[in-house]
Amino acid sequence: MAKKKAKSSGGSGLIVVIILGAVIVVLGLIVLSGGFATPAPEVTTESLELCNGMPCPSKGSPDAPVVVIEFSDYACHNCRDFNLTTAPILERDYVDAGQVRYVSHVFSLWTESIPAAAASLCAHEQGKYWEFHEQAFRDFQQGSFPANEDFLNWAQIIGLDQASFKQCVDSGRMVYDAQVSALEGTRAGVDGTPSFFINGALLRGNVPLDEFRRTIDAALAGQ
Amino acid sequence: MSTLWMAHRTAFLQMVLSAAGVVVAAILTSFHYSPATTAALCTGAGGCETVNTSPYSTIAGIPVALLGMGAYVAIGALAFLSTREACPERGRRGALAEQAHLAVFGLSLAGVLYSAYLTYLEIFVIRAICPWCVVSALIMTAIWISSAVDLVRRRRAAAEVSASP
């Protein structure tokens, strides 16, 4: 009886094996999740121009004195409003004039909007990010999330290589990049969309055009 | 107070904590589109949505919250099993019941270690805190502490029985 009770309480050797087993399981989970993640580096304007180590989609002169970095979500109606109304005016007045370089980060506020962000990066692979970006906001529907058939439809409209784009979307290989793009924004202090960094200064929301002008003009004057 | 009664009390506590863990994990898996907007800004559901949309929210395509739910269900079942007293006619099932508290100890230890890693990710890598993740980590830690205390108590009781004439 005593021997049996001692066995049921677990010998020291068995407990050591259990502890080692637990450690091995956790290490396995960390490896499966992509390996041990090191602490995030400090965020700078330069680092925000990179999306997972690669240049983010951008337009405008590389030598422009002001850099505007946009964070937007394809399911956010404020992002739609900004991109269809204010953005074209800013592009005409500042980007085309060589005063602003405009950089875009996908920033998924919700898990359901990650596929659209990933699809936009598939379009970026074919050099048509901005066309996809605009088309996605043109087809925006409040409260619903675009699906693969929408992405393929947009791909046809903007003239992407359908087979290559479909393979990219179906494989989900841009999902990680889309998630990292949002993570870079979170680390920089982005907590909503649209958000902008104008030469490093954070501007939150689809603010009136005049406020964009004032902020960009101040950045230009500061050069 | 008998060791058996104390062990049953611990197992009951672990079952309650596991049920709470399942509820928290269910909340974490159900974070979905919940639009909140100010006049000009769209926002998500806060830290938990940020963590859920990060690259660290899945392991081999399986949501971490779902794995956590599985762990809580297993711990709850093992805690229940540990209340079944071993008897010869139960055969292997009886032997399994005898060792169930050890399995709870091992599983909850793995849960605590992985929760510690997830908390590290939230603070230093993602830089966003999910309150429900913190609650889950605390529940798992409470289960592990109760399991470790139970294990020590069982070993002491076994040693006393062995030493008695």
Partners of residue A73 in chain B, C-beta under 8 Å: 42
At residue B149, the pLDDT reads 93
Nearest CA in chain B to A145: B33
Counting residues of chain B whose pLDDT is more than 90, the rounded percentage is 48
CA-based torsion, B146, B150, B151, B152: positive or negative: positive
Chain B nearest C-alpha distance from A24 (Å): 9
Distance in angstroms (rounded) separating the CA atoms of residues B32 and A56: 27
What is the three-state SS of B116-131? HHHHHHHHHHHCCCCH
Q: What angle do CA A76, A41, A30 make, to 5 degrees?
A: 85
What is the CB-side half-sphere exposure of residue B43 using CA atoms within 13 A?
Answer: 15
DSSP readout, A152-166? HHHHHHHT--HHHHH
pTM as predicted: 0.80
**pLDDT at residue B45 greater than cutoff 90:** no
ipTM for the whole complex: 0.83
Residues A105-114 have a mean pLDDT of 91
Are the C-beta atoms of A49 and A69 separated by less than 8 Å? yes
Partners of residue B155 in chain A, C-beta under 8 Å: 9-10
At residue B158, the pLDDT reads 79
For the stretch A5-41, pLDDT in tens is: 444 455 788 899 999 999 999 999 999 988 898 888 7
Distance in angstroms (rounded) separating the CA atoms of residues A144 and B2: 59
Inter-chain CB proximity A109 and B106 less than 8 Å: no
Chain A nearest C-alpha distance from B20 (Å): 22
Are the C-beta atoms of A29 and B111 separated by less than 8 Å? no
Helices A148-158 and A129-138 cross at an angle (nearest 10°) of 120
DSSP readout, A19-67? HHHHHHHHHHHHHHTTSPPPPPPPP-HHHHTEETTEEPPEES-TT-SEE
List, in sequence order, every residue forming a beta bridge with A100; answer none if it has no partner.
Answer: A66
For the stretch B82-127, pLDDT in tens is: 887 544 455 555 567 778 989 999 999 999 999 999 999 999 998 8
Residue type, A67: V
For the stretch A68-84, pLDDT in tens is: 999 999 999 999 999 99
Distance in angstroms (rounded) separating the CA atoms of residues A29 and A19: 16
Residue type, A13: G
Peptide bond into A194 cis (omega under 30): yes
Q: Three-class SS of residue B153? A: helix
Partners of residue A79 in chain B, C-beta under 8 Å: 42
How far are the Cα atoms of A47, A93, A166, A194 from residue A205, in angstroms, in the given order? 22, 20, 33, 5
Q: What are phi and psi of B63, to 5 degrees?
A: -60, 135
Nearest CA in chain B to A5: B158
At residue B6, the pLDDT reads 72
Nearest CA in chain B to A3: B162
For the stretch A164-217, pLDDT in tens is: 999 999 999 999 999 999 999 999 989 899 999 999 899 999 999 999 999 999
What residues contact residue A118 under an 8 Å CB cut-off, 6+ apart? A169, A172, A174, A175, A177, A178
Q: What is the b/e burial string over A96-129, where b = at least 16 CB atoms within 10 angstroms of the residue's CB?
A: eeebbbbbbbbbbbbbbbbbbbbbbbbbbebebb
Chain A nearest C-alpha distance from B35 (Å): 8
At residue A176, the pLDDT reads 92
What residues contact residue B22 under an 8 Å CB cut-off, 6+ apart? B69, B72, B73, B76
Chain B nearest C-alpha distance from A63 (Å): 30
Are the C-beta atoms of B24 and B89 separated by less than 8 Å? no
At residue A1, the pLDDT reads 41
Interfacial A residues in 182-201 facing B (CB < 8 Å): 182-183, 186-187, 191-195
